[in-house]
Amino acid sequence: MLPTKPHLNTLGAALAWGRTQLNGAAETNILDAEVLLLHLLDLERTTLRAWPERRITTDQAIQYKLLIGQRREGRPVAYLTGQREFWSRSFRVGPGVLIPRPETELLIELVLERLPADTHASLLDLGTGSGIIALTLAAERPGCSITATDASNDALAITRENARRMGISQIRYLKGHWLDPLAADDRFDLIVSNPPYIAAADPHLAQGDLRFEPQQALASGSDGLDALREIIDRSPAHLHPGGWLILEHGYDQADALTAILTKGGYRDIGQYRDLQGHPRASVARYG
């Protein structure tokens, strides 16, 4: 049980207490305690290092204890701070969207490799969530026209807020399941997606941060491939000839994705590894 009476009065004392409280409750207890304290007090890390004796108020101590208590219960740090960094930019996140992962930056790399800096290509981001893919691509390739779809009103609201904060306006937002909201004649040079790809019965869904994230953004059928199958099957109707399809998937799904793409008539199929060396993305062309 967490102490109810505030007794922390300096940055150093608060940080030491937070680390102790999270020890055993979070694998990144030292980092988590620091991030939550910096977020609460709106401080830079250098301040925490240089002036550990700096005083904090009783109200700040109480708020910090509440944040640490929520983290002990397993609530993700990104949801507690309301933000997560992706591609060196800060994005607003919340319980209605998947928390951005570093692995997804591989998708950005793969897209940018195929699009010159001065391109005016048309792009489609399926299941945009907080908008990290669509908005990062819009910032990196400002000449592109980008469409982002999502079935969640909450997700689209967060995406629009992130776009407003970043000053990005060239994105068309459509609400609906994957490709459902597209017009029959909508065509794109490239379609990219980080869909759910965890098997519905996977025990990891009941562990750690995953317990608090939207399950529809994580799990997809008995083998985790339902969403990927649907996207691969339906994308040719919305790709220009020779258009690219770039997908994130599970570390153990590369062979299955190659087989599905081959059966679907795609060509130039490639598999790419994340920083941990796991096959994490598949790239293919159609037509």
Intervals of CATH 1.10.8.10 along the chain: 11-74
Please report where in the chains the tokens 């040719």 appear, as a residue. 236
CA-to-CA dists, residue 65 to 5, 30, 47, 49, 240, angstroms: 10, 15, 20, 20, 54
Please report where in the chains the tokens 């109200």 appear, as a residue. 59
Span 242-254, average pLDDT: 97
pTM summary value: 0.92
| Beta-ladder partners of 247 | 193, 282
Q: Has residue 5 got a pLDDT over 60?
A: no
Cα R_g (the chain), whole angstroms:
21
In the 8-state DSSP scheme, what is residue 26?
B
pLDDT digits (tens, 9 = 90+) for 32-77: 999 999 999 999 999 888 999 999 999 999 999 999 999 999 999 9
Please report where in the chains the tokens 């109810």 appear, as a residue. 4
Contact between residue 147 and residue 180 where contact means Cβ atoms under 8 Å apart: no
Span 190-201, average pLDDT: 96
How far is residue 207's CA from residue 203's CA, in Å, rounded to a whole number? 7
Q: Has residue 4 got a pLDDT over 70?
A: no
Residue 26, pLDDT score: 77
Intervals of CATH 3.40.50.150 along the chain: 87-286
pLDDT digits (tens, 9 = 90+) for 65-123: 999 999 999 999 999 999 999 999 999 999 989 999 999 999 999 999 999 999 999 99
Q: Note the Cα 202 to chain centre separation in Å.
A: 20
How far is residue 191's CA from residue 143's CA, in Å, rounded to a whole number? 16
Q: Does the 87-286 domain belong in CATH 3.40.50.720?
A: no
Give the closest residue to 220 by CA, choosing from 241, 247, 197: 197
Q: Has residue 2 got a pLDDT over 60?
A: no
Residues of the chain with pLDDT > 90: what percent? Answer: 89
Q: Does the 11-74 domain belong in CATH 1.10.8.10?
A: yes
